[in-house]
Chain A
Amino acid sequence: MTGYLESTLRKNREGGRKLLVPYITGGLSADWCEVLRAMADAGADAIEVGIPFSDPVMDGPTIQAASARALARGTTPVSLFEDLTGIDAGVPLVAMTYDNIVHKAGDARFAGELAAAGICGAIIPDLPLEESASWEAASAAAGVEAVLLVAPVTPDERLARICERSRGFVYAVSRMGITGERVDVAASAGVIAKRTKAVTDKPVLVGFGISTPEQAVEAAADADGVVVASALMRILLDGGGPEEAAAFVSSFRSALDA
Chain B
Amino acid sequence: MTTRPMATPGADGRFGEFGGRFVPEALMPACLELEAAFTAAWADPGFRSEYEGLLRTYANRPSPLMEAKNLSERLGVRVLLKREEMNHTGSHKINNVLGQALLTRHMGKKRFIAETGAGQHGVASATAAAFFGLDCVVFMGEVDTKRQELNVFRMELLGAEVIPVTSGSRTLKDAVNEALRDWVATVETTHYCIGSVMGPHPYPWMVREFQRVIGDEARAQCQELIGGVPDYVVACVGGGSNAAGIFAGFDDTDAKLVGVQPEGGAAIGRGTPGVVHGHRSMLLQDEHGQVLEAESISAGLDYPGVGPEHSHLHAIGRATYPWVNDAEVLEAFKLLSRTEGIIPALESAHAIAWVAKEAGREIPEGSTVLLNLSGRGDKDVAQVREILAR
> By the criterion CB–CB under 8 Å, are A154 and B29 in contact?
yes
A246 an interface residue at 8 Å Cβ cutoff? Answer: no
Binary flags per residue of A38-68, CB closer than 8 Å to B gives 1, else 0:
0000000000000001110110100010000
Residues of A within 8 A of B26 (CB): 151-153, 173, 176-177
Cross-chain contact of A153 among B21, B29, B275, B283 (Cβ < 8 A):
B29
CB of B227 within 8 A of chain A? no
Tell me if B25 and A151 are in contact (CB < 8 A). Answer: yes
Are B184 and A76 in contact, with the CB atoms below 8 A?
Answer: no
The answer to whether A128 and B275 touch (CB under 8 A), given A101-B288, A105-B289, A178-B184, is no
- B291 in the interface (beta carbon within 8 A): yes
In the complex, chain B residues 157-204 whose Cβ is within 8 Å of any chain A Cβ: 167-168, 173-174, 177, 180-181, 184-188
Interface residue? A104 (CB, 8 A): yes
CB–CB B184/A176 < 8 A: yes
Q: Which of B263-285 contact A (CB under 8 A)?
A: 272-278, 280, 283, 285
A 126-164 to B, binary, CB cutoff 8 A, 1 in contact else 0: 111111000000000000000011111111001000100
Question: How far, in whole Å, are A250 and B174 apart by their CA atoms in the complex?
Answer: 37
Kindly state whether residue B24 has any CB partner on chain A within 8 Å: yes
Task: Check if B40 is an interface residue, CB within 8 A of chain A.
Answer: no
Pick the contact of B25: A78, A98, A173, A177 (CB < 8 A).
A173
Q: B25 touching A150 by the CB < 8 A rule?
A: yes
Query: Bound state CA distance, A153 and B25, in angstroms?
Result: 8
Is B291's CB under 8 angstroms from A100's CB?
Answer: yes
User: In residues 174-218 of chain A, which contact B (Cβ within 8 Å)?
Assistant: 175-178
Collect the chain B residues with CB atoms within 8 Å of residue A127's CB: 22
Query: When the two chains form their complex, are residues B291 and A55 in contact, meaning their CB atoms are under 8 A apart?
Result: yes
By secondary structure, the B interface counts as mixed
**Is A104 in contact with B287, judged by CB distance below 8 angstroms?**
yes
Closest to A153 in B: B29
A53 touches B289 (CB 8 A): yes
**CB-CB < 8 A to B187: which residues of A?**
153, 176
Instruction: Please provide the chain A residues from 2 to 40 with a CB less than 8 Å away from any CB of chain B in the complex.
Output: none
Query: Which of B20, B28, B167, B174 has the most A CB atoms < 10 Å from its CB?
Result: B28
> Which residues from chain A contact B181 at a C-beta distance below 8 Å?
57-58, 60, 178
> Do B168 and A128 touch (CB < 8 A)?
no
Query: Is B12 among interface residues, defined by CB-CB distance under 8 A?
Result: yes
Range of interface residues on A (Cβ < 8 Å): 35 or more
Q: Is A71 an interface residue (CB 8 A)?
A: yes
Q: Does A121 contact B (CB under 8 A)?
A: no
B290 in the interface (beta carbon within 8 A): yes
- With most chain A CB atoms within 10 A of its CB, the pick from B25, B174, B276, B283 is B25
* A249 CA / B363 CA spacing, docked (Å): 67
Q: How far is the CB of B192 from chain A (nearest CB, A)?
A: 12
A225 within 8 Å of B (CB atoms) = no
Interface assignment of A83: CB less than 8 Å from any CB of chain B: no
Residues of B within 8 A of A176 (CB): 26, 184-188
B23 interface residue, CB < 8 Å from A?
Answer: yes
Q: Which of A54, A126, A162 has the most CB of B within 10 A?
A: A54
A105 (CB) vs chain B CBs: closest residue = B289
The distance from the CB of B169 to the nearest CB of chain A, in whole angstroms, is 9
- Note all chain A residues with C-beta closer than 8 A to B272: 104
Q: For the complex, is A244 an interface residue (Cβ under 8 Å from B)?
A: no
A92 at the interface (CB under 8 A from B): no
Q: Which residues of B contact A178 (CB under 8 A)?
A: 181, 184-185
Contact between chains at A104 and B289 (CB < 8 Å): yes
Across-interface contacts of A150 in B (CB, < 8 A): 25
Closest chain-A Cβ to B115's Cβ sits at a distance in Å of 12
Q: Given A54-B290, A57-B181, A177-B185, do A100 and B275 touch, yes or no (CB 8 Å)?
A: yes
CA A123 to CA B25, docked complex, whole Å: 12
- Decide: A53 near B290, CB < 8 A? Known: A100-B274, A152-B26: yes
Q: Is B184's CB under 8 angstroms from A78's CB?
A: no
Task: Kindly provide the distance from the CB of A148 to the nearest chain B CB, expressed in whole angstroms.
Answer: 8
Interface core residue of A71, A128, A178 (most chain B CB under 10 Å): A128
A183 CB → nearest B CB, Å = 15
CB distance from A152 to the nearest CB of B (A): 7
Partner of B288 from A64, A104, A129, A130 at Cβ < 8 Å: A104
List chain B residues, Cβ under 8 A from A102. 289
A44 to chain B, nearest CB (A): 25
Is the Cβ of B21 less than 8 Å from the Cβ of A128? Answer: yes
A241 contacts chain B at the CB level, 8 A cutoff: no
Known: A55-B276, A100-B276. A149 touches B24 (CB 8 A): yes
13 new A-B pairs (CB below 8 Å) besides A126-B22, A128-B23?
Answer: A54-B291, A55-B177, A57-B24, A57-B180, A98-B275, A103-B273, A103-B274, A103-B280, A104-B272, A104-B287, A128-B21, A154-B25, A173-B25
Show 16 residue pairs from A and B whose CB-CB distance is below 8 angstroms, ordered by the A residue: A53-B289, A53-B290, A76-B288, A77-B288, A100-B275, A100-B283, A100-B289, A103-B274, A104-B288, A128-B24, A130-B12, A131-B21, A153-B26, A153-B30, A155-B29, A173-B26
